[in-house]
Each structure stands twice: as structure tokens, then as C-alpha cells.
Structure 1
């Protein structure tokens, strides 16, 4: 299952450079994950200071 970023995102950007398939981008107020590209590796979740990325 792909990861999604929930509303607790603080838009710090820590997750985006960790994504090996570059599927994380800055959205409107929070970062977003392209679920069609996400490989569910968890790299984003491991660096997020607020635990915003979660497996859907």
C-alpha cells in the first residue's frame, strides 16, 4: 500500500529528498505523495519529525 501524508504535516520538506522514486512534492499547505509512484519503502516516515506519512 502507498503512503499518504496526513494533516499533521508541518511542510518542513524533510521527507522529499529521502524518497528514492521522487514521488513527494509540496502541495497546498502540506506535502503530498503520488500514490501511483510510491513504492511503500517508508523512507519518508522514518525522517518525518511529526509522523505525517502513514501507510494507507
Structure 2
């Protein structure tokens, strides 16, 4: 049970760190997300049609 609690606490601490980063740097996080989405979509029919390359 202690191991499960330790793993849960580790996950929660990491997630809180991510959330704090998102709240502190919303523009940076959104830009990275947009770039990732465009790069992922560049080889789709839609991406090729609208030059996502």
C-alpha cells in the first residue's frame, strides 16, 4: 500500500509541476502545441492541400 501511495504522490507532484508551467507560460505552451499539431498534420491530405510543410 505504501508503494502505491508513493507512486501516486510522485505522479501528482509531476502533474502539478506541469500545470504550474502551463499557467506560467501559456503562450509558449500553446505555440509548442500548435507547432506539434501542424507538424503532425503536414502529411495528411489537408496538410498537403494547405502547405503545412
TM-score bracket for the superposition, by shorter chain length: under 0.3
What's the TM-score once normalised by structure 2's chain length?
A: 0.21
Larger Rg: 2
Q: Which structure carries more relative contact order (alpha carbon 8 Å, separation 6+)? A: 1
Q: Structure 1 or 2: larger helix share?
A: 2
What's the TM-score once normalised by structure 1's chain length?
A: 0.21
